[in-house]
C-alpha cells in the first residue's frame, strides 16, 4: 500500500521514542462507528495505534522490520503488504467488501499510493457506519520559542532529503485529498488540530529528531543534519541535557465515512 518504507533502518529507535497516541482518540473514533467488530490499522509500523481500537484488528505495513517490532496482542493480526499486492488482494486480505468498521492511519498516509489506498478503503468500509481516520504530527515540536526556531532551521536544511508525499505532512494535511463525508473531526482542507503532550528527556528529544525520515535519509547519504554544533545549540535552548521537559506534538486529523 505504501510507495516506500522510509523507516526500515531506524526501526528500533523509532519504536522506542515515538509518541503513543491517547486511548481516548480511539474510544471517540470507535464510538462513531455503528459496530466495533473489525478495524484496519494501515501503515501500522509497530502497532502502537492498532491495539486500542475494535474487538479485532488487522494491522498492515509494507515494512517487515517494523512489523517484527509489533506490539503483541491477542486481538491484533499483523500482515505484511508488499507493494506488488493488487487492490483485489488487499480487499480479500481485509475480509472483503463492507467488512471494516474503523480504518486508522497514524502518521503514514503521506507515504501511501493514496488513490489506491482510498479505493481499497471505500470498498472495505462498512456502509453505513464505517469510519476512516487519518492523522499526522509534524516536526515542529512545541517546547519553547528557541527550540522551535532551531527546528525551523532544521526543516529548511532537510528539504533536499524530502521524499514524495512528505510535503503533505509539512502542510499539516491541509492539501491532502480526503474524499469522505465528515463526521465532525476535520474534513478535506480543514483538519482538526490536536496535541499530544509528553514528558521527555533531552536525549529522547534528540532520538525523535534522528528518526525523522529526512534526517535519517540525509544520514544515509553521508550528511549529518544534527552536527555537534546543532546538538549543542538544541541543548542550550533546552536548558541542559539533564532537564526533563513537557513537549507537545501538534497533530492534524481527518475523519469521515464513505459518501452516499
H-helix segments, the chain: 11-17, 23-32, 64-68, 87-93, 114-124, 145-158, 166-170, 202-210, 213-220, 228-238
Is residue 1 in a domain? no
Is residue 148, in this structure, part of any structural domain at all? Answer: yes
171 falls within a domain: yes
Q: Per the domain annotation, does 3 fall within a domain?
A: no
CA atoms within 13 A on the CB side of 117: 29
Query: In angstroms, rounded to a whole number, what is the distance separating the alpha carbons of residues 190 and 203?
Result: 34
pTM assigned to the model: 0.89
pLDDT tens across 25-52, in order?
888 898 899 888 899 999 887 666 666 6
pLDDT at 15: 54
Q: What is the pLDDT of residue 38?
A: 93
pLDDT at 54 over 80: no
Mean pLDDT of the chain: 89
Q: For 60-92, write each residue's pLDDT tens digit.
A: 998 888 888 788 888 889 999 988 899 999 999
Average pLDDT value for residue range 214-243: 96
Domain of 105 in residue numbering reads as 8-257
- Domain with residue 116: its CATH number is 3.40.50.150
Q: 9-23, 106-120, 177-191, 195-209 — which is least confidently predicted?
A: 9-23
Cβ-in-10-Å burial (0-12, 13-18, 19+) of 177 comes to middle
Instruction: Specify the number of domains making up the chain.
Output: 1
Amino acid at each position: 500500500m505504501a510507495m516506500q518504507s522510509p523507516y526500515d533502518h531506524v526501526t528500533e529507535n523509532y519504536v522506542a521514542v515515538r509518541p503513543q497516541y491517547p486511548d481516548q482518540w480511539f474510544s471517540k473514533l470507535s464510538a462513531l462507528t455503528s459496530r466495533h467488530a473489525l478495524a484496519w490499522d494501515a501503515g501500522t509500523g509497530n502497532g502502537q495505534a492498532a491495539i486500542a481500537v475494535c474487538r479485532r484488528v488487522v494491522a498492515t505495513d509494507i515494512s517487515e522490520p517494523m512489523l517484527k517490532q509489533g506490539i503483541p496482542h491477542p486481538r491484533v493480526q499483523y500482515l505484511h503488504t508488499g507493494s506488488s499486492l493488487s487492490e483485489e488482494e488487499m480487499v480479500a486480505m481485509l475480509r472483503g467488501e463492507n467488512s471494516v468498521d474503523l480504518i486508522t492511519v497514524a502518521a503514514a498516509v503521506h507515504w501511501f499510493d493514496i488513490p489506491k489506498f482510498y479505493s481499497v478503503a471505500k470498498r472495505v468500509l462498512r456502509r453505513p457506519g464505517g469510519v476512516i481516520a487519518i492523522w499526522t504530527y509534524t516536526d515542529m515540536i512545541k517546547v519553547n520559542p528557541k527550540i522551535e526556531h532551531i527546528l525551523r532551521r532544521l526543516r529548511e536544511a532537510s528539504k533536499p532529503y524530502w521524499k514524495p508525499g512528505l510535503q503533505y505532512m509539512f502542510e499539516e494535511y491541509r492539501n491532502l485529498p480526503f474524499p469522505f463525508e465528515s463526521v465532525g473531526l476535520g474534513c478535506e482542507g480543514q483538519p482538526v488540530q490536536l496535541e499530544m503532550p509528553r514528558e521527555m528527556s533531552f536525549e529522547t528529544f534528540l532520538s525523535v529528531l534522528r528518526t525523522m525520515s529526512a534526517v535519517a535519509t540525509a544520514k544515509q547519504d553521508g550528511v549529518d543534519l544534527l552536527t555537534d554544533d546543532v546538538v549543542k545549540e538544541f541543548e542550550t535552548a533546552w536548558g541542559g541535557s539533564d532537564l526533563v521537559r513537557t513537549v507537545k506534538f501538534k497533530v492534524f486529523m481527518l475523519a469521515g465515512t464513505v459518501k452516499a
